Amino acid sequence: MSEPGAGLRRGPAQPVETAAVAGAGGPFGVAAVAGAGGPFGVAAVVESGGPFQMAAGAESSGPDKSGGPDQSGGPEESGGLGESDGLREADGPAEGSRGPAGSAGPERGAAASAPGPAASARRKLRPEHYDFFAGGAGEETALRENERAFGRLALLPRVLRGGADLGTRVSVLGREWQAPLFVSPTAFHRLAHPDGELATARAAAATGIPLVTSMAATTAVADVVAAAREADSEALVWFQLYPQPEHEVTAELVRRAERAGCRALVVTVDSPVFGRRTRDLRNGFHDLPPGLAAENMRDLPGAAPGSTRDIAMWPAGWDDLARLRELTDLPVVLKGVLHPEDARTAVEQGVDALLVSNHGGRQLDAAPASVEALPAVVEAVAGRVPVLMDGGVRRGTDIALALALGARAVGVGRPVLWALATGGEDGVREVLTALREDFTHVLTLCGGRRPEDLTADQVVPRGLPYRPGGPGRGERAW
């Protein structure tokens, strides 16, 4: 890779990605960003990293924040992504406002009088940067379905359960979390705000929410952890990792995460090749602006001193995961598992937790929504390891639905990016606090006192009959 800019290695024998839209010239494998979540709207969850064709950049003053929605060179945004009320942007403006954070489903309320967070962020960001954060693969079907799938589900509340000692704490990998919520890994935060990942880390720590920092962050992992620990000396930070074809590169990344004080590795396994990101192809967005780089990729084995390496996407195997396990005593969380048989194999291979995710709709556009894949993975795991989930989580009801279907905790990403773009550290802190408070409210309305009180028999499909006589305790209702 040369500086400035970065090429992205596609790994052995990968096909060239051609433009999916008229006018998008040639192979640009720009990858993903963003992860899921936040209480008020954001397009779908994505995860960090992803195939990035932009690892390095010449040093300068950082990204230009000019531009706006009128100038976007991206493709037509299927479903009006980012242009609705900002709660379920993927449903599109034609389907109406989503109303307050606790509402559910499209077409439920008067049109919002103020723009939602995604629309506000869009006005702050360069068009190609907004599209990078907001977009998905192909026709963005998986992106939209991540959110819409939640709108197709309802919660059956329980009544007269008594008890005033409400609590939201959950235990994950030996640590007690204040709420069943974490910040999913998302890349390139300095495209959204000059303080980038440092602001996100401080805000997450201040609200007691664990942070998964991305391998493709524009701030090195050691600095991210240090910022989090400034706000809270016990702040929990995990490191998201794409295993690299060169074992020595993977080993050095793991050692850096350990030295920084990360408490777990989140290993993304759903990217043997790049997803075709239509918006990035059309925008010709394949490099970071001057002054920004994927800092975790700097000074790695095989790179010239002071330079960065590309993040390679390649078809790793179970043997590569075994070699990774030999490198570290940190817990390993496998991210991107959707098939129950893969979940069983992962547990047998000694993985410590699973994260059900479709990469925020940025890899396989035909993939199911994360919440649709969740129940089968939970059943396959059978309680042997914690199951986490991200993708489409935008409000407290979404968290409650995922927990009722077996998730221990859920991740949010794009809402964090929109909040960062519009309000910096304060904005991220506010959105995480609002989402946590909304979940507490929903938990109480469902008759629960603890997250584990939410059960699968409380989840029913909207508009369809469920089992005559109702479901048995703990059973799904359809």
**Active-site residue set:** 359
The CA distance from 216 to 188, in Å, is: 7
Minimal CA–CA distance to 3: which of 219, 216, 291? 291
Residue 410 CB partners (closer than 8 Å, separation 6+): 36, 37, 180, 181, 182, 388, 389, 390, 393, 398, 399, 402, 403
Q: How far, in Å, are 3, 88, 148, 390 from residue 98 at the CA level?
A: 45, 7, 12, 21
Any idea how long the chain is?
478
Q: How far, in Å, are 167, 202, 427 from residue 151 at the CA level?
A: 26, 32, 26
Minimal CA–CA distance to 243: which of 475, 11, 5, 1? 11
CB atoms within 10 A of CB 452: 12
The CA distance from 186 to 134, in Å, is: 11
Cα angle, residue 400 at apex, residues 397 and 401 outer, rounded to 5°: 85
Residue 53: both structure tokens together? 């064709």
DSSP state, residue 218: S
The CA distance from 133 to 346, in Å, is: 30
Cα angle, residue 384 at apex, residues 397 and 165 outer, rounded to 5°: 45
Question: 103-106 long-range CB contacts below 8 Å, 24 or more apart?
Answer: 103/395, 104/150, 104/151, 104/154, 104/395, 104/397, 105/151, 105/462, 106/151
Residue 59 CB partners (closer than 8 Å, separation 6+): 290, 291
- The strand pair at 409-412 and 459-461 is best described as unpaired
Contact, 395 vs 167, CB < 8 A?
Answer: no
HSE value, Cβ hemisphere, 13 Å, CA-based, for 38: 33
Alpha helices (runs of H) in 240-317, residue ranges in sequence order: 247-260, 278-283
How far, rounded to the nearest angstrom, does the alpha carbon of residue 36 sit from its chain's CA centroid? Answer: 4
Give residue for tokens 């991200």. 390
Minimal CA–CA distance to 393: which of 421, 366, 374, 420? 374
The CA distance from 235 to 196, in Å, is: 18
